[in-house]
Amino acid sequence: MKKSILGIATVLAMASLLLQPIEVLAHHSFAAEFDANLKGKFTGVVTEVRFSNPHVRYRMDVKSADGKTESWEIQAGSVTSIRPQGWLADTIKVGDTITVEGQLGRDKVKKVYVRQVTLANGKPLMGTEGNNTGTANAPATPRPDPNAVNADPKVNYAYGQHNAAFPFDISGPWLQRYKFHVTVDDLEPKPTPYTAEGRKLRDANTKYEDPALRCISLGLPRIFGNPYNMEIYDAGSHYLFMYVEHNTRRKIWMDGRKVPAETVPTSNGYSVGHWEGPTLVIETTNLMPGWLDGSGMPMSGKGTRTVERYTFAADHLAADRTMTIYDPLYTQPLVRTRGLARGPNIDVSEQDSCDPNSYFGDLLESGLLEKHLKP
């Protein structure tokens, strides 16, 4: 078997360490692969283009100070997040000379998570959603404030007929980047209250077990914390949550039913909800085992129960939301906090399909492919 299909990097000589910290929108294990405090800027020639989800990747040859050629992996945001900026499959091509700024791989691995790419013609491309300062195909626009609620209260967001038993209508598009922060090590309390078994499972997890890298739907609780937008449909007996993330749908039963005994575990589990004044409360069980966050915090699945609380503002244009996670791998409940907001022109188009080629390529290059292909 060939050692690498991506090219083997040789010696590294990094240039200026420039950038100020920028919010990370990567939904998989950024912290496991990259050091947010280690930054660099360098110029090279593109040798490979892989424009697909879960993350756009390039290979680039860089000349070191001693004249040797080094092969670097350049990782950007998802297709879904960078395409609205005008960053398309043919924007960067093999043979192009580009300058890259970003956060470097851990353990001296030759990879960088892009914060900005500058094309040969001087045009900048931002590596993650919401940082548009102009691209090769689109003029610069001010970066919107993700925590500003600027929706028109006169706009009717309703889908279908509002159930009169509910206090108000929440159907329509919602911005999940409101009060967003990275879904890596974001759960409280700190330090994480692992049981002995939970600590053992966390220590055994590596980035290669991350479902996001394998194009597997993240499900709960992670989808609760991710920045992609969502829509809510009022279907009377239930709410239908439609997440851009992995084009995921989720039913929240609101008719007082109990969880059927024959229910099988799924990535989003079985959710039942009710209203407590302005707060929508959702309890979910019957979850599959998985990760609680992008760092590899384990979730038992069978013993996991989550309780979400969406407390809406008086004008119904924003909500504070919390998820409390009860899991036997932890000695205390864990809490995740986020927000929701209305706004004009919220993009809820479907997410581009995911291609696991990068995942298998990394395994092959690391000599781990056979291990991870075993049943």
What is the chain's pLDDT, residue by residue, as a tens digit (375 residues)? Answer: 433 333 333 223 333 333 333 334 444 456 678 888 899 998 999 999 988 877 888 999 998 888 899 999 999 888 777 877 778 888 999 999 999 999 998 888 889 999 899 998 988 887 664 433 333 334 444 566 778 888 888 887 777 788 999 999 999 999 999 999 888 889 999 999 999 999 999 999 887 778 777 777 789 999 999 888 999 999 999 999 999 988 899 999 999 999 999 898 999 999 999 999 999 999 999 999 999 998 999 999 989 999 999 999 999 999 999 999 999 999 999 999 999 999 888 888 877 777 777 777 777 877 877 777 765
How confident is the model at residue 29, as a pLDDT?
A: 58
The sign of the torsion formed by the CA atoms of 29, 32, 33, 34 equals positive
Region 172-341: CATH code: 2.40.128
Count CA within 13 A, CB hemisphere, residue 113.
26
Q: What architecture does CATH give domain 30-143+355-373?
A: Beta Barrel (2.40)
Alpha-carbon distance of 239 to 287, in angstroms, equals 19
Helix (H, G, I), strand (E, B) or coil at 208: helix
pLDDT of residue 307: 98
Single-letter code of the amino acid located at 322: T
Q: Residue 374 carries which DSSP code?
A: -
The per-residue b/e assignment along 68-96, b for 16 or more CB within 10 angstroms, e otherwise, is: eebbbbbbbbbbbbbbebbbeeebbeeeb
Instruction: Assess contact for 128 and 25: CB atoms under 8 A.
Output: yes
Contact 289, 299 (CB under 8 A): yes
How far the first Cα of the chain sits from its last, in Å, is 20
Check if the beta carbon of residue 178 is closer than 8 Å to that of residue 340. yes
pTM above 0.85, yes or no: no
* Cis peptide bond upstream of 333, omega within 30: no
How many whole angstroms separate alpha carbon 214 and alpha carbon 194?
26
CATH 2.40.128: which residues of the chain? Answer: 172-341
Exposure on the CB side of residue 135, measured as CA atoms within 13 A:
20
Contacts of 63 (CB under 8 A, 6+ apart): 44, 69, 70
| CA-wise closest residue to 82 among 359, 293, 347 | 347
DSSP 8-state assignment for residue 252: E
Q: Which residues contact 74 (CB under 8 A, 6 or more apart)?
A: 57, 58, 59, 60, 100, 102, 111, 112, 114, 117
Distance (Å, rounded) from C-alpha 127 to C-alpha 55? 10
Long-range contacts of 214-217 (CB under 8 A, 24+ apart): 214/356, 214/359, 215/53, 215/54, 215/354, 215/355, 215/356, 215/359, 216/267, 217/246, 217/248, 217/267, 217/268
Start-end of CATH 2.40.50.1010 domains in the chain = 30-143+355-373
| 198 and 298 Cβ atoms separated by less than 8 Å | yes
